[in-house]
Structure 1
Amino acid sequence: LNNLMIYPMYHKTFSDKFGFTEDDICIVLHYHGQDDKKNAVKEWYNGYHAADHRLYNPWSILTFLDTKQLGRHWVDTAGGTATIMELIWHSGTDFKIKTTQLINREAVKVEISRKLDYSALRICTDSA
């Protein structure tokens, strides 16, 4: 492909397209008569950052609107759990600590590599 440009989620140009923005959530909650659930939805699903935007997983939000229940709606359709388990098993201490913090619903700051090589994730970076 000639002149192909890739815009990852940390790039500002299209960063608001990698999930639902808070405005999007307000719109869909209002449309479905769930305005009173805005704070609960934002707290439960917590969101993630892409460049300057706080985004929310569309699957989780739409499933909430369908079921009217806050919950873990993620489905492992692509084998992600097995990949994560393998990475945790073979990871270094820092990765395990940060993963534990995420599981405990704590915020974790990481630097995103622009040249991510998934095979490199399988290399343990310390002796732990």
Structure 2
Amino acid sequence: MALRLLLPLLLIAATFLIAQAQGIGSSAPDCCLKHSRKPVPSGWVKSYRLQGPESGCLLRAVVLTTKKNKKICASPTDSAIQKLMQNLDKVKNDKKDKKDKKKGHSLRARGGPKRQKRQRV
């Protein structure tokens, strides 16, 4: 009787351990292993993220995402890359400001008193 209860528990535990060993369900970071030396046209890039020890990667890098969703690893100390990141930040902030202004304007337009219909006598 005890064996009937113990066997399913052992099977579940073994399945869990195998899944952990294979990395199922783990979120291993996708890290750059080296920096690209080719220049990256700024028109290709839509966003970037920083990579380093704080994100679980050994190499410090800027991971650029192109408009075609390709990843390019670049050096964070490269002056052209730093300028590209500043431009991307500026564009992002400008879009955010426009969105905030648009929201504020539309709220004021709707916030006025409603027109009342004339009643015919």
| TM-score between both structures, scaled by the size of structure 2 | 0.19
Of structures 1 and 2, the one with the larger relative CO (CA 8 A, separation 6+) is: 1
Task: Mark the structure with the bigger radius of gyration.
Answer: 2
Q: TM-score, normalised by structure 1?
A: 0.18
Q: Which protein has the bigger strand share?
A: 2
